[in-house]
Amino acid sequence: MSLQDGSPGHTGCVAFPLSVLDQSPISAGMTGGDALRNSIDLAQHVESLGYVRYWIAEHHGTPMLASAAPEILITAVAAATSRIKVGSGGVMLPHYSPLKVAEVFSMLAALYPGRIDLGLGRAPGSDRETMFALQRDRRQASPDDFPAQLAELLAYLEDDFPEGHPFERLAALPGGPERPEVWLLGSSPQSAIWAGELGLPYVFADFINPAGAEIAELYRQRFVPSPRREQPYVGVAVSVVCAADDEEAQRLASSSRMAMTLLRQGQLISVPPVETALAFFEEQPPPTGRRAVVGSPATVRAGLEAVVADYGADEAMIVTITYDHEARRRSYELVAGAFR
């Protein structure tokens, strides 16, 4: 059964589609290769559960997350699945040439027609030093020219350069005529304005900034209908851990909470075992400032419905990090069951 929108023209019993945002977490004692293979396994699992799309994040220079090159993992996930939409959540465009991104995702769209999403972000996905290391030219800081990069990328994908433009011929992309669906990601008002003015679908990272309801409304207010989308479309990415009961879910969530607490203190670690995390929080209070929906299936359903209602969102993207991969699989399974 598909976990799709319950509005007219769709099947399913939920009021909004459920999707996955995967950061390929690396647990203590695990290799990056293990984490990447777990992502492929999870994608196959959530496809069987009816999730609508599977997005892969981009992070650099951290022992906690293996998803440094989403385009590589997108290829592997799309090859291992057959129906679920696969995409980036997102490609951090400031690191790249717009032409290179257009060519890569054009090829992916040609290999997997109708299944590839290109989610774009402005954030570095890393610390300042790692961002500098990713630069090709290190003589000076990279310019903050995201709107120009985005406009150029869209011109390649849509063959929309003005006549006589020096890049006009480059819009004949290798995967043509197939194209990915472009989304904009963000956690700030500026990303919402850009998405609205360009008529793009927008996903807000509630798991980074839980105060995004007004920003989602700003996106809707600034939305200009376009050939890309006639109506605004809001996704909200939410941190979720689901288990058989509330107590077990809180135990499982302690691992990612410890890792995030230490990250804010400048310490980078892999996802720790639950017992290590519980002992850690005996010495200090758990972190605040980030929202997570944690609990039994009933608790999580109520929590997700509340977040979606707060944003007026059209889709929920679930981000789940646990130490144990089987617990992560089970979390997505329980969420799917809660909405059937």
CA nearest neighbour of 120 among 143, 141, 102, 140:
102
pLDDT at 143: 80
Nearest to 22 by CA among 51, 55, 59, 45: 55
191 in a structural domain: yes
Encoded tokens for 161: 């350069």
Contact 105, 115 (CB under 8 A): no
285 is a domain residue: no
d(CA 207, CA 236): 9
H or E element that contains 189? helix 189-198
Domain carrying residue 168: 18-257+291-338
Is 63 within a domain? yes
Total of domains in the chain: 1
Question: How does strand 234-242 pair with strand 85-92?
Answer: unpaired
Q: Is the pTM of this model over 0.85?
A: yes
Instruction: For 198-218, write each residue's pLDDT tens digit.
Output: 999 999 999 999 999 999 999
Give start and end residues of each alpha helix (H) in 52-162.
70-80, 98-111, 128-134, 146-158
**DSSP at 319:** E
- Separation CA 91–CA 339 (nearest Å): 30
Contacts by 262-265, CB closer than 8 A, 24 or more apart? 263/64
Please give the residue that has the higher pLDDT: either 2 or 219: 219
Please give the single-letter amino acid code of residue 196: G
Four-point Cα dihedral 283, 325, 295, 275, nearest 10: -20
pLDDT given at position 5? 53
* Mean pLDDT value across the chain: 93
**274 lies in a domain?**
no
Q: Is residue 127 in a domain?
A: yes
Is 270 part of a structural domain of the chain? no
Is residue 329 situated within a structural domain?
yes
CATH of the domain at 49: 3.20.20.30
Assigned domain for 27 exists: yes
Comparing CA positions, the residue from 77, 9, 68, 93 lying closest to residue 40 is 77
